[in-house]
Amino acid sequence: MTSSTRSCEPRDPVLGCGVDCEELARFAPMLAAETHPMPLVFTRAEVDHARSLPSPARALCACFCAKEAVFKALGAPYNFTDCELFLSADDTAELRLSPSLAAEHGVGGATVEILDVEEADGAVMAVVVLFASPVAP
């Protein structure tokens, strides 16, 4: 497994943590067609961005894993298009929650790690930690 270790001293309390892992192979067929795959799950910006990367299926799989991990961290259902994940060329990930989603669930910040699980023969894993909004004194 390829991974990195990060540690931090969060200023705000942890709201929740979620993990999801999916097989990469199921996402390649979604990108083969010109149509928008799963419009209730992925935003047009996520699909266009994934298609611009060297491994579009991996990027879309990472998006799905991050959305599932956010669901688990929140412990409640939400509209998946209110959460977006964008991978950069150096493989860092940017997780964006809509202002309405963050406000509804009291999320003040989030971190995400995307990992390749080599032992699982082509799986991608997302680990998401959500931090609570700061409480005014």
Instruction: Examine residue 5 and state whether it is found in any structural domain, yes or no.
Output: no
**Per-residue pLDDT at 89:** 75
What is the token pair recorded at 90?
A: 């150096």
| Structural domain that includes position 69 | 14-132
Instruction: Examine residue 7 and state whether it is found in any structural domain, yes or no.
Output: no
Instruction: Examine residue 89 and state whether it is found in any structural domain, yes or no.
Output: yes
Average pLDDT, the chain: 87
The answer, yes or no, to whether residue 74 has pLDDT greater than 50, is: yes
What is the token pair recorded at 75?
A: 């412990």
**Per-residue pLDDT at 4:** 42
- Give the position of tokens 């299926």: 57
Report the CATH number that the domain containing residue 60 is assigned in CATH: 3.90.470.20
CA distance 78 to 130: 14
pLDDT category of residue 11 using cuts at 50, 70 and 90: low
Higher pLDDT, 27 or 33: 27
Instruction: Examine residue 4 and state whether it is found in any structural domain, yes or no.
Output: no
**Residues 21, 120 contacting (CB under 8 angstroms):** yes
What is the token pair recorded at 15?
A: 């709201």
Instruction: Examine residue 9 and state whether it is found in any structural domain, yes or no.
Output: no
The total number of structural domains in the chain stands at: 1
The answer, yes or no, to whether residue 1 has pLDDT greater than 50, is: no
The answer, yes or no, to whether residue 127 has pLDDT greater than 80, is: yes
Interval 93-100 mean pLDDT? 94
CA distance 22 to 27: 9
The Cα angle at residue 64 between residues 118 and 2, in degrees rounded to 5: 25
Query: Does the predicted TM-score (pTM) go above 0.95?
Result: no
Instruction: Examine residue 59 and state whether it is found in any structural domain, yes or no.
Output: yes
Q: What is the dihedral of CA 73, 77, 79, 80, to 10 degrees?
A: 50
Instruction: Examine residue 137 and state whether it is found in any structural domain, yes or no.
Output: no
Instruction: Examine residue 108 and state whether it is found in any structural domain, yes or no.
Output: yes
The answer, yes or no, to whether residue 10 has pLDDT greater than 60, is: no
The answer, yes or no, to whether residue 39 has pLDDT greater than 70, is: yes
Nearest to 75 by CA among 113, 126, 18: 18
CA distance 15 to 72: 11
